[in-house]
Structures are given as structure tokens and as C-alpha cells.
């Protein structure tokens, strides 16, 4: 997990400091119990108040110090955890942002979302719930055993052996009993099944297959339930082991302290101290069984996140600059590379004043040609942009000079104005209405207003109206190359022809490429 470590390393010192402070806080609990037990035992003998004064102050000190140190540890470790989480999520975004779309076809639906949200957040458990509590338990345990060693060395040796056994064996047992490599895949199946069911609610009711969807969710969930049950059993067994060792330690302490008191090697006021200290020594182990039973899941999440962070960019580094106000694009026997699909080689040219219309039957690879041009797909043949091979340019270099409307472009659930300004953030309302007029939407939008929201909680545009809003947004992006993939979808032939002529006039000084199944004339 080399890449993941680089994201955690800047905060590692603070995380370790928080663990030590947390351990000191737990040690305060050890001191609090020891002083309290001594104070109560001594007070029963009714000594002068000055004899008890130091112990009284010590109880106050340990009681207040425990809270202060605990708060400080939580503040430091959670701040570090949130900064690390932020750094990891930004790193994941940068890695996936640099990938070609072909990379995402290899991922299950929602897998990237799980890496960004669930997996990256689960990584915090490595130090918040596993490493730091374990270190704190070691520190507080050593502190308690040190007090017992000062009072009764032989007992301290026995309890130290039990403590060492507990601090290592309990976590290892929790991990071994709960380890399951299939948990992530089963969680993905449940997640995918729920998404599929949610996306097809209306269709499932219409066609009557909602019971099948419910059954698929139930089957996936039943396997996940068994994994959770196994983790629960592991946590329960480890917790039972912790309770048994704690009880054993108290009994052993009592069995040793009573004879020690009888032979006067242990003062009577210290008997309660020795007998009660094992309770707080082993108290730091309380949350470890449940935490370590989750360790395999955390490790799987870390592996998944590290895999994303280790991805190399598919983008080529541009070896030549691309610039200019006018561009000529040549396709020479271009065949986009799609798995198990054979396409016919395509040749064509586009330049200012000579638009290129790519037409053909469904599945002929029209949209794939656009994806190849902008760097989203590998291809054979040659694409030249101003006589420069497109392969020598990164997709970001190509896209920078293009205004692109893809077939699956998205309208966001916000206002019409904000959707249009994605194309040109500084566009005025006059400029927005001017481009809306080009796609025959100005009159409609004037009637409902630019601030009208798009979607089920706003104005529910028809398919053709949504397509024209996307087209207007693309035209607002003033670039020398304009690429439109099915811009006239959902429109009748007459309206499509009018808008096509308007678009051609708007782009007369630009290099225009249009993919269309309609026989439009540019």
C-alpha cells in the first residue's frame, strides 16, 4: 500500500501523538482508581485529615486530567483523520479524472462512489478504532502493572504475562475468526441490486417483475448477513475471552494479596489497590475485539483505495503544441477499438465553411468516432488536427479547443441559467437568450424565467426541449471546433432542419462536426 502510505504519512506524527495522549488519559484512570482505593481504605482507619490530603488532591488531579487528555487526544486524532480523509479523496478524484472513459467500463456500477465515500471513510478506523486504542491500552496497562510491581512484584509478573497474552491474542483471535475476503464483493452485489431496483421501479410495476428484484436483493443481503453474523461471533468470542481474563486477573490478585497482607509484605491499605487495579488495566481492551473483528474489512477497503491511487494516467503527454483560430480535422480510415465489435473504416474531413455530417445506421460507430477524436477511445487509422496526429495530444488538449455535445450529456437539477452557464460562466442573460433563440427556446424560457429549476421539482421539460438546452449550452462554449452528437434527437424533421441551418450559420467560422441519424442539411 505504498501510495496510500504517502497520503497518511503527513499526519502520522500527529496520529501517534494522539495515541500517546490517549494512553496517558487511560493511565490517569489507572491512577484515579489506585488513589481512590487507597483513600477509601485509609479513610476507614480515621487518620488525621492531613494524611489524606495528598490522596484527595491526587484523585482530583487524575479525575480532571483524564478528561482533559481524552479531549485533547480526540481533537488531535479526529482533525488528523479528517485531513487525511480529505487528502485521500482528492487523490482518488485526481486519479480517476486522468483516466480515459474506457477505464470506467471495467468498474462495477457505484464502485468509484464506494471508494470515494465508504472505503475512504472506513480507513479512519485503522487509527481511530484499532491502532490508537491498542497503543493506549498498552500504555495504561504498563502504568497499572508498574504500580502493582512496586507493591507486589511476584503478582505483577503473573499479571504481566496475562496482559501480554490478552493484548496480542484477543486482537489476533478477532481477526482470524472474522476474516472474510468475500465481504466487499457481497456488499457490492447488495449495492448494485438496490440501485437496479430503484432505477427500475416504474418498469418493474408495469411489467410485474418487482418480486424478482426483491428476491435478488434478499439473496445478496442473506450472504452479507452471514458475514456480519460471523464478525459478530468473532467479536463475541474475543469479548468473552477479555472478560474471562479480567476476572481471572482479579481472582489471582486477591489470592496473592491476602497472603501478602498476612505475612506483612503488603500493607492493608494497598490490598484494595492491588485487587481493583486489574479491572482498569484490562479495561483498555474492552473495545478491541469489536474493532479488530472489522480489521479484514478495513484492510480490503485500504487495498481497494490504494489500487485506485496507484492507477497511472492513460493520457498521453502532448509532444507538440496545438493552437490557432481555425482547425482542419481529417479522418483517414479510422476504426474505433471496441471489444467484440467490428466497424467499417471511416474517412472524412471538416474545416471552417465545410461542416462534416457523420450519419449511418444505429450501431455503426458514429458516436465512437467522436469519442476517438476527443481522446476517449483508442482507434486504428489516423486522425489529424491541423496536420498533427491526434495521438500526440492529450484528450484535455483536444477538449480545450472543442465545444462538445455528447449523446448522454447531463442536465443538472438546478436552474436553467446555471445549466447554460456551464458553457460560459460569465455569460449575461442577453447572451443566454440569444443562444436560446438559435435553438428555438427563447420564447419558452422567457415565459417561465431563467431561474426555473429543471427536473421533477421544477419545470419538467420534454426530451426535445432538454436536448435543445444542452445544444444551447454547447454553443455558448465559444471554441473553434464544435462537435455535436445527435443534437436533433427527439425533434421532428422540419424543426431539426430549421435548427440545423441556424447552428450552421452560428458556426460558419468554426470547424463543425455533426453526428445525426436525421438527414439534415448544413
What is the pLDDT at residue 126?
A: 85
What is the pLDDT at residue 324?
A: 67
Neighbouring C-beta atoms of residue 24, cutoff 10 Å? 19
What is the pLDDT at residue 184?
A: 65
The full DSSP string for 372-395 is: HHTTSS-EEEEEEETTEEGGGS-H
pTM of the model: 0.68
What is the pLDDT at residue 157?
A: 95
Scan for cell 509484605, then name that residue.
265
What is the pLDDT at residue 73?
A: 94
Domain ranges within the chain, ordered by starting residue: 2-309, 329-515
Residue burial 32-44, b: 16+ Cβ < 10 Å; e: rest: bbbbbbbbebbee
With contact defined as beta carbons under 8 Å apart, do 466 and 432 qualify?
no
What is the pLDDT at residue 107?
A: 65
Residue 49 has phi, psi (to 5 degrees) of -60, -30
Residue 169 has pLDDT above 70, yes or no: yes
HEC secondary structure over 427-493: CCHHHHHHHHHHCCCHHHHHHHCCCCEECCCCECCCHHHHHHHHHHHHHHCCCCEEEEECCCCCCCH
What kind of fold does domain 2-309 have according to CATH?
ABC transporter transmembrane region fold (1.20.1560)
Alpha-carbon distance of 137 to 163, in angstroms, equals: 10
Residue 357 has pLDDT above 80, yes or no: yes
Scan for cell 487495579, then name that residue.
277
Residue 514 has pLDDT above 70, yes or no: yes
Query: With bands split at pLDDT 50, 70 and 90, how would you rate the model's confidence at 521?
Result: confident
Residue 21 has pLDDT above 90, yes or no: yes
Choose the most confident range, by mean pLDDT, from 191-195, 275-279, 371-375, 488-492: 275-279
Residue 1 has pLDDT above 80, yes or no: no
Q: What whole-number percentage of the chain has pLDDT above 90?
A: 42
> 272: which 3 cell numbers?
484494595
What is the pLDDT at residue 103?
A: 66
pLDDT digits (tens, 9 = 90+) for 192-215: 777 777 777 777 778 887 788 788
Instruction: Answer with the residue of higher pLDDT: 324 or 263.
Output: 263
Give 329-515's CATH code, choosing from 3.30.70.260, 3.40.50.300, 3.30.750.24, 3.40.50.1100. Answer: 3.40.50.300
> 108: which 3 cell numbers?
462495477
| Virtual torsion, Cα 271, 276, 282, 286, nearest 10 deg | 180
> 71: which 3 cell numbers?
479531549
Residue 259 has pLDDT above 80, yes or no: yes
- 244: part of which helix (H) or strand (E)? helix 210-262
Query: Which residues are CB-neighbours of 312 under 8 A, at least 6 positions away?
Result: none
With contact defined as beta carbons under 8 Å apart, do 327 and 476 qualify?
no
Among the ranges given (43-52, 334-343, 456-465), the one the predictor scored with the smallest mean pLDDT = 456-465
Amino acid at each position: 500500500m505504498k501510495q496510500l502510505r504517502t497520503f497518511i504519512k503527513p499526519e502520522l506524527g500527529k496520529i501517534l501523538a494522539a495515541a500517546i495522549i490517549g494512553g496517558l488519559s487511560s493511565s490517569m484512570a489507572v491512577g484515579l482508581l489506585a488513589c481512590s482505593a487507597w483513600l477509601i481504605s485509609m479513610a476507614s482507619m480515621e487518620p488525621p485529615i492531613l494524611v489524606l490530603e495528598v490522596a484527595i488532591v491526587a484523585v482530583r488531579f487524575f479525575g480532571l486530567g483524564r478528561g482533559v487528555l481524552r479531549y485533547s487526544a480526540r481533537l488531535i486524532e479526529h482533525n488528523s483523520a479528517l485531513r487525511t480523509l480529505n487528502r485521500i479523496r482528492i487523490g482518488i478524484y485526481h486519479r480517476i479524472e486522468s483516466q480515459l472513459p474506457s477505464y470506467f467500463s471495467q468498474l462495477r456500477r457505484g464502485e468509484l462512489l464506494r471508494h470515494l465515500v465508504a472505503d475512504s471513510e472506513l480507513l479512519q478506523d485503522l487509527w481511530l478504532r484499532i491502532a490508537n486504542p491498542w497503543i493506549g491500552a498498552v500504555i495504561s496497562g504498563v502504568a497499572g502493572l508498574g504500580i502493582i510491581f512496586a507493591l507486589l512484584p511476584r503478582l505483577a509478573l503473573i499479571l504481566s504475562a496475562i496482559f501480554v497474552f490478552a493484548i496480542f491474542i484477543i486482537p489476533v483471535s478477532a481477526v482470524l475468526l472474522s476474516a472474510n475476503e468475500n465481504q466487499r464483493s457481497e456488499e457490492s452485489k447488495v449495492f448494485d441490486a438496490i440501485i437496479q431496483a430503484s432505477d427500475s421501479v416504474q418498469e418493474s410495476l408495469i411489467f410485474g417483475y418487482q418480486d424478482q428484484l426483491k428476491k435478488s436483493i434478499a439473496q445478496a443481503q442473506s450472504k452479507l448477513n452471514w458475514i456480519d453474523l460471523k464478525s459478530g461471533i468473532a467479536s463475541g468470542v474475543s469479548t468473552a475471552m477479555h472478560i474471562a481474563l479480567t476476572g481471572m486477573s482479579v481472582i489471582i490478585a486477591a489470592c496473592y494479596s491476602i497472603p501478602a497482607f498476612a505475612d506483612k509484605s503488603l500493607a492493608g491499605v494497598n490490598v484494595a489497590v492491588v485487587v481493583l487495579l486489574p479491572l482498569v488495566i484490562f479495561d483498555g481492551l474492552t473495545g478491541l475485539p469489536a474493532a479488530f473483528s472489522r480489521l479484514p474489512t478495513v484492510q480490503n477497503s485500504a487495498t481497494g483505495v490504494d489500487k485506485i491511487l496507484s492507477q497511472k494516467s492513460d493520457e498521453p503527454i502532448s509532444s507538440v503544441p496545438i493552437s490557432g483560430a481555425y482547425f482542419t480535422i481529417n479522418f483517414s480510415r479510422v476504426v474505433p477499438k471496441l471489444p467484440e465489435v467490428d466497424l467499417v473504416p471511416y474517412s472524412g474531413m471538416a474545416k471552417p465553411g465545410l461542416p462534416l455530417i457523420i450519419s449511418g445506421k444505429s450501431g455503426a460507430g458514429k458516436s465512437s468516432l467522436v469519442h476517438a477524436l476527443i481522446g476517449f477511445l483508442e482507434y486504428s487509422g489516423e486522425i489529424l488536427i491541423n496536420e498533427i496526429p491526434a495521438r500526440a495530444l492529450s484528450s484535455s488538449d483536444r477538449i480545450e479547443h472543442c465545444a462538445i455535445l455528447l449523446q448522454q450529456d447531463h442536465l443538472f437539477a438546478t436552474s436553467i441559467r446555471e445549466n447554460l452557464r456551464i458553457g460560459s460562466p460569465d455569460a449575461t442573460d442577453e447572451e443566454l437568450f440569444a443562444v436560446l433563440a438559435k435553438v428555438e427556446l427563447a420564447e419558452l424560457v422567457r415565459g417561465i424565467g431563467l431561474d426555473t429549476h429543471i427536473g421533477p421539482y421544477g419545470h419538467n421539460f420534454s426530451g426535445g426541449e432538454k436536448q435543445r438546452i444542452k445544444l444551447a449550452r454547447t454553443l455558448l462554449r465559444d471554441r473553434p471546433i464544435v462537435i455535436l452528437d445527435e443534437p436533433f434527437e427527439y425533434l421532428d424533421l422540419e424543426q431539426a432542419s430549421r435548427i440545423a441551418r441556424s447552428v450552421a450559420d452560428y458556426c460558419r467560422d468554426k470547424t463543425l462536426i455533426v453526428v445525426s441519424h436525421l438527414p439534415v442539411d448544413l
